[in-house]
């Protein structure tokens, strides 16, 4: 009796693991098509200052998006460029922090404001993959998104 229960428990467990592995393998490269967010960076100096304040202050953007070499400066409160570069090898995969400077090659200078805003609001990366939900900005207002995108 006990052996029978044990046997079936193992069969059920192994089946569940196989289903999980197959589901993850099939779904991991899905692309998503969330609505674009209709905001555009402003040139107003008050809005730029507000965006920088959120970016370097309560938004905590630099706590993740800073580079290895700038880490100490960020701790001292310096406003350095969000060059990214940290990598976190976790069992679920490697998390890489992207460069979000306005550089057209290494940063996000070639990505439209609406796509950047979509990344923050809906968690869909510029290339359409679902981003790991590290950025808790889904409820940020259009006004604040407009400000943040400037920096
Ligand atoms: C807790 C860490 C963390 C914080 C805080 C954070 N980010 Fe991110 N950000 C990430 C990670 C990780 C990714 C990449 C996710 C992925 O591609 O799966 C990312 C991706 C992005 C992207 C997409 C860039 C690209 O090329 O794919 C933008 C834009 C962005 N972050 C802006 C911001 C802004 C603006 C803030 C602050 C308001 C911020 N992030 C705060 C971790 C963070």
Q: pLDDT by residue (tens digit) across 47-88?
A: 999 999 999 999 999 999 999 999 999 999 999 999 999 999
User: How far, in Å, CA of 15 to CA of 117, rounded?
Assistant: 41
Residue 16 has pLDDT above 90, yes or no: yes
The per-residue pLDDT for 122 is 96
Tell me, in angstroms, the distance from the centre of ligand 1 to residue 2's CA. 51
Place of tokens 């905001």: 39
The two three-digit tokens of residue 101, written as one number: 């400077």
Nearest to 128 by CA among 115, 139, 142: 115
Tell me, in angstroms, the distance from the centre of ligand 1 to residue 132's CA. 9
Q: pLDDT by residue (tens digit) across 102-148?
A: 999 999 999 999 999 999 999 999 999 999 888 989 999 999 999 99
**Which residues have CB under 6 Å of ligand 1?**
55, 59-61, 63-65, 95, 97-98, 100, 108, 116, 119-120, 125-126, 131-132, 134-135, 137, 148
Q: Residues near 147 by Cβ (< 8 Å), separated by ≥ 6?
A: 42, 47, 48, 50, 51, 54
């Amino acid at each position: 009796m006990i052996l029978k229960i044990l046997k079936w428990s193992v069969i059920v467990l192994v089946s569940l693991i196989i289903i999980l592995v197959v589901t993850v393998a099939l779904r991991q490269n899905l692309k998503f098509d969330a609505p674009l967010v209709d905001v555009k960076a402003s040139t107003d100096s008050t809005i730029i200052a507000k965006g920088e304040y959120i970016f370097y202050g309560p938004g905590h953007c630099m706590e993740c998006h800073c580079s290895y070499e700038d880490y100490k400066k960020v701790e001292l409160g310096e406003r350095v460029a969000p060059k990214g570069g940290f990598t976190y090898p976790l069992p679920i995969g490697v998390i890489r922090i992207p460069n979000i400077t306005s550089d057209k090659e290494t940063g996000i200078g070639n990505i439209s404001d609406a796509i950047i805003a979509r990344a923050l609001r809906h968690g869909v990366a510029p290339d359409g993959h679902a981003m790991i939900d590290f950025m808790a900005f889904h409820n940020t207002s259009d006004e604040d998104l407009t400000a943040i995108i400037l920096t």
